Structure formats: structure tokens, C-alpha cells
């Protein structure tokens, strides 16, 4: 049976947390529990709070009195921590990748390799699916999604083709979408192209960029001085946001200055150069190849 998920850069990310046995830590992307299980091995009297908006992740929750699992979106980090009586934490880890389970569950519609309904909801209670976006967004909105979140240069042609196709029949399944885009997908780069297209729809469905920004801002607020922020990203859009935030405290990457003109930064960079998987890791887990790890410590 396929494991729910194999965490990327596991040893490097756990080391980056600089765990204390009595510390309070947060795993905002519990998934299969790989990072959480590794954190718990380092705790004695410490505590771990784990978030995951996907109800499927609840089936993997480790039975441990030190672990509190919250079936919540990490964009509500601060309020949920306050609700359980936690005001400050010693470290936070986020693995922003889609889990193996989500990709490999045909009915979830995350992968273009299976002909299923275009769903892509991380939170299955959410009301908007990818098929709803393809049905209701106008041509300009679709083009903006494909260009901004998929970095697809022929975004306008893609949007026009979908709008034209849905006049004749709804674009609901993977085959509906690929059929509508016939002739616009470069044959030599089909998999890479479709991966970017599906990424753009998934990001829009789950409001991933907005949620990430909200979580990072709240993480800065709840981290104690000396607390670590550890984030694994999988595409350039996420990585740019995380890099800028860790370096400057904002998402534009512009350093702020105090009254005297001195730069004010909220974090100390632990790894100036982004950490990537070793050749050995990618041989064992090919899906880890795009993982990028950044670590920062709150000043």
C-alpha cells in the first residue's frame, strides 16, 4: 500500500527547528504525520500542535498526549493557538507540498494522470472546486490565473479555448479540460505544461498564496525571540514569498528602516543559500526534487 506521504528534506528541516525537549512547536501541514513524528522524538515535556485542513489527514493522527491535532486551515494559526491557550511558540514547520495521498487519490482531481472530476480542494468542505472555476470565471480571470499561478505564456489562448469549449459542453473532468486545450499543449513538454496548468487551478481553488502570506505574518507574531521558522516550498511563487518574508519581514522584499535609517529585519537567516534534496534523496523519492528549504530565526 502507498504511504500517505514521504516527507522531503526531513532530517534537514527537523535540524532546522533546533528543537528543545520542553519547547512548544507547530506543524501547520500535518499530512501523513512524518514531520510531526520526528519532532515528537525530540520532546520530553514539550508540546506539538499540528494543523491540517484535509479531513483525510485526521486518520493519520499519532496517539500521543503531547500532540494536539487541529483540523483547520493554517491561515487561522493565531486564533486557533489562542483558543487552546497557546500564545507563543518555539518553532513552526510548514511543508507546502501536495501529499502523495492527495495526488494519488483519483477522486480528489489533483492529478492530470487520471480522468476524474476537477476537484482539487484541500478542504473537502469548501464549496468551490476547480470545475466551478472553469465554469464560472470569465476569459480574463482564467487567463490571469494561468499566467500568475502557472507562469504560462499562452494563458490568453488557453482561457479563450476553455470559454469556447464550455459553450458546447461543461468542462468538468480532466479529459474535458485536455480536450478543450487540444493543440495548445506543447507535445514535447506535455507533462510539465499540464503540471503548471493544474498548479494554477489548485492555487486558485485553495487560495494558497493568500493563506501562505497570512500564516507567515501570524507565525512572526507567535514565535518567541530565538524561535525558528522552517518552510519547504515546491514552486517559485511560494519560494519567492518565503524568501522575501524571511529576509525583510514583508513579501515585496523591501527592507524597512528605523528613524535613524538602520535596516530593521525580524529574522536572522540560518541558511543564506536555499537547501535542496541530495541526489540520494531524489533517487529514493522523485517527488522531492523540487523541494526548497529555508530556515530563519526570530530576532
Q: What is the pLDDT of residues 74-118, one digit of tens each?
A: 999 999 999 999 999 999 999 998 877 776 777 788 899 889 999
- Per-residue pLDDT at 2: 44
**Residue 44, φ and ψ in degrees, nearest 5:** -115, -80
**pTM recorded for the entire structure:** 0.94
Give me 270's grid cell: 540560518
At 195-236, the pLDDT tens digits run: 999 999 999 999 999 999 999 999 999 999 999 999 999 999
In the chain the domains, ranked by start, together with CATH numbers, are 10-100+208-298 (3.40.50.150), 107-206 (1.10.150.170)
- Per-residue pLDDT at 3: 58
- Please choose, from the candidates 230, 240, 236, the residue with its C-alpha nearest in 3D space to the C-alpha of residue 298: 230
Q: What b/e readout covers 227-243, taking b as 16+ CB neighbours within 10 angstroms?
A: bbbbbbbbbebbbebbb
- Per-residue pLDDT at 1: 34
Give the C-alpha separation, 108 to 175, whole Å. Answer: 15
Any residues with CB less than 8 A from the CB of 2 and at least 6 apart, and which? 100, 101, 104
Contacts 24+ apart (CB under 8 A), 69-78: 69/30, 73/122, 73/123, 73/211, 74/28, 74/29, 74/211, 74/215, 75/207, 75/210, 75/211, 75/214, 75/215, 77/26, 77/28, 77/51, 77/214, 77/215, 77/218, 77/219, 77/222, 78/218, 78/221, 78/222
- Residue 283's pLDDT band (cuts 50, 70, 90): very high
At 2-56, the pLDDT tens digits run: 457 789 999 999 999 999 999 999 999 999 999 999 999 999 999 999 999 999 9
- Per-residue pLDDT at 74: 98
Which residue in this structure is represented by grid cell 529514493?
Answer: 284
Give the C-alpha separation, 274 to 283, whole Å. Answer: 20
Evaluate whether 243 touches 293 at the Cβ level (below 8 Å).
no
At 111-160, the pLDDT tens digits run: 998 899 999 999 999 999 999 999 999 999 999 999 999 999 999 999 99
Amino acid at each position: 500500500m502507498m504511504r500517505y506521504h514521504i516527507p522531503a528534506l526531513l532530517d534537514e528541516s527537523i535540524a532546522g527547528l533546533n528543537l528543545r525537549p520542553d519547547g512548544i512547536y507547530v506543524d501547520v501541514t500535518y499530512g501523513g504525520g512524518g514531520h510531526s513524528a520526528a519532532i515528537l522524538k525530540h520532546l520530553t515535556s514539550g508540546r506539538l500542535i499540528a494543523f491540517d485542513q484535509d479531513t483525510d489527514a485526521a486518520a493519520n493522527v499519532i496517539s500521543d498526549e503531547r500532540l494536539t491535532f487541529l483540523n483547520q486551515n493554517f491561515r487561522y494559526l493565531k486564533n486557533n493557538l489562542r483558543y487552546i491557550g497557546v500564545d507563543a511558540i518555539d518553532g513552526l514547520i510548514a511543508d507546502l507540498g501536495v501529499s502523495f495521498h492527495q495526488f494519488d487519490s483519483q477522486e480528489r482531481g489533483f492529478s492530470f494522470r487520471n480522468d476524474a472530476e476537477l476537484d482539487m480542494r484541500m478542504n473537502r468542505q469548501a464549496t468551490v472546486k476547480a470545475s466551478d472555476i472553469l465554469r464560472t470565471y470569465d476569459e480574463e480571470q482564467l487567463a490571469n490565473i494561468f499566467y500568475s499561478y502557472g507562469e504560462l505564456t499562452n494563458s490568453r489562448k488557453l482561457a479563450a479555448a476553455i470559454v469556447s469549449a464550455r459553450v458546447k459542453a461543461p468542462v468538468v473532468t480532466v479529459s474535458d479540460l485536455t480536450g478543450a486545450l487540444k493543440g495548445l499543449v506543447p507535445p514535447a513538454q506535455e507533462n510539465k505544461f499540464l503540471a503548471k496548468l493544474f498548479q494554477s487551478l489548485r492555487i486558485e481553488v485553495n487560495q494558497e498564496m493568500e493563506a501562505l502570506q497570512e500564516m507567515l505574518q501570524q507565525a512572526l507574531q507567535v514565535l518567541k525571540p530565538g524561535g525558528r521558522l522552517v518552510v519547504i516550498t515546491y514552486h517559485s511563487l511560494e519560494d519567492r514569498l518565503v524568501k522575501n518574508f524571511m529576509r525583510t519581514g514583508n513579501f515585496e522584499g523591501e527592507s524597512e528602516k528605523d528613524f535613524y535609517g538602520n535596516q530593521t529585519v525580524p529574522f536572522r537567516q540560518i541558511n543564506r543559500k536555499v537547501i535542496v534534496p541530495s541526489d540520494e534523496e531524489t533517487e529514493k523519492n522523485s517527488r522531492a526534487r523540487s523541494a526548497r528549504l529555508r530556515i530563519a530565526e526570530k530576532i
